[in-house]
Amino acid sequence: MDEHNAEPRTRNADPRPRNADPRPRNADPRPRNADPRPRDAERRLRAAGPPWPVMPPEMGTGAFIRMRSVLWSRGSISWYVGGGISLLWLISTGQEIIEQASTTGSATIGILLVIVYGIGFLLAVPLGWGLPTRWRLLPAIGLFALSFSLFPWLSWDVWSQWTYVGVVVGMMVLSWRTTLTLIVALAALGLFFRVGIDGWTEDILWGPAIIFTISLMMAAFARTFAAMNQLRTTQDQLAQLAAERERGRMARDIHDILGHSLTVITVKAELANRLIEVDPARAKTEVGEIEQLARGALADVRTTVAGARGVNLPAELVVARAALEAAGIAAEIPTATDAVGPAHRELAAWIVREGITNVVRHSGATRCAVRLGPHSVEIADDGVGPVASSASSTGLAGLHERVAEAGGTLTIGRSDLGGFSLKVNL
């Protein structure tokens, strides 16, 4: 409810400060009925490891993720399937090692190293995904160094295994400048070694070209999926924002509806209680109006929950007059709404509702005026005037949001009647 003025504390009022937290010290900070699903979803996301492929550098985690979760995440398993198919090219490497080996033991060691190299290639990409951006090249460097373990059998032809290193570099989703520089350097180094072995021939560029093109293709492939993951993340965030906005709208509407209706019902109930003995007929009339107000408030809450809530300016003016008269406040309310443009009449109705609720509840006024104009709406009274709590009240905060969405401005201050003024310029 809005606090136009501070209300006196009753004898049995809670002695704690107004903003004190009534919950136990060790209580769960979430509301009792809070939805646990967001936290559960976040826990499952952490357990699943990073998205596949990793997000671009600007969306990096900035911290080490548990490698066990990374290595067995859904994205890593998908990578194992695709990367495992590419290991078929190592069969030719194994055959060459067998041909170059002088003994069975040497061939066995060479084949084992090829197997280790293939396993290292499969693990390098998921391991890189689990590292912060500045460390993400470490698996590629390690795989590059591991390729030289085959040097006793392949000599400088180890450069032919660097296609796998280039693929790892491309899958890390680093900046384009870094990715291109490393891939070009890797292909150039392979060209240098091949020229040193075979000299310059017409087929000299095939091997380095394979390193460059396949690595670049995988870099583009990884970035495409990273962009798709980023888009999905953005869509999820937009959906959450839309849900939060809708919850805020419903909370604001329900506050405005119940705040106004319950205030009028309270005033009319007090009046009916005073009239029971002195004017039973009038008291009965007031009780009947209380019943109508309660039914109307219930219907308004139902339509708000259904998303079809709307207010009507002429109706709000009639209700405002009745509420002010029931509170013993002289009402100066226009009978026509032509001064307000059709586009602003619903907003003006919300302004009248909130302003009259404040006047009846907090002002202590004897006179209230509602002033409608083509570009302004003002509710003024001769009560106690503005206080510090007015600017932070829930109802005025919700009204300020409505006015801001409509492109208007809301001001509160002292009115020309000597009390409180709530004015909106449209």
For 338-383, give the DSSP string.
TTS-GGGHHHHHHHHHHHHHHIIIII--SEEEEEE-SSEEEEEESS
Write the DSSP string, 143-193.
HHHHHGGGHHHHGGGGGGGHHHHHHHHHHT---HHHHHHHHHHHHHHHHHH
Strand, helix or coil for residue 27: coil
The pLDDT of residue 204: 81
The pLDDT of residue 310: 60
DSSP β-ladder status, 367-372 and 376-381: antiparallel
Buried b (16+ CB within 10 A) or exposed e, 179-201: bbebbbebbeebbebbeeeeeee
Q: Which residues have CB under 8 Å from 425's CB, separation 6+?
A: 375, 376, 408, 409, 411
Q: Which residues of the chain have pLDDT under 70?
A: 1-68, 198, 236, 242-243, 246, 249-250, 252-258, 260, 299-311, 387-395
Domain boundaries, the chain: 49-236, 312-426
Q: What is the pTM of this model?
A: 0.50
Q: Of 290, 300, 318, 291, give the one whose Cα is nearest residue 253.
A: 300
Decide which of 3.60.20.10, 3.30.565.10, 1.10.486.10, 3.40.50.720 is the CATH code for 312-426. Answer: 3.30.565.10
Q: What is the pLDDT of residues 110-132, one digit of tens each?
A: 999 999 999 999 999 988 888 88
Q: What is the pLDDT of residues 35-92, one digit of tens each?
A: 444 455 455 444 443 444 554 444 444 445 466 677 777 778 888 999 999 999 999 9
Distance between alpha carbon 333 and the CA centroid of its chain, in Å? Answer: 44
Distance between alpha carbon 370 and the CA centroid of its chain, in Å? Answer: 40
DSSP β-bridge partners for residue 376: 425
The phi and psi torsions of 74 (rounded to 5 degrees) equal -60, -40
Strand, helix or coil for residue 330: strand
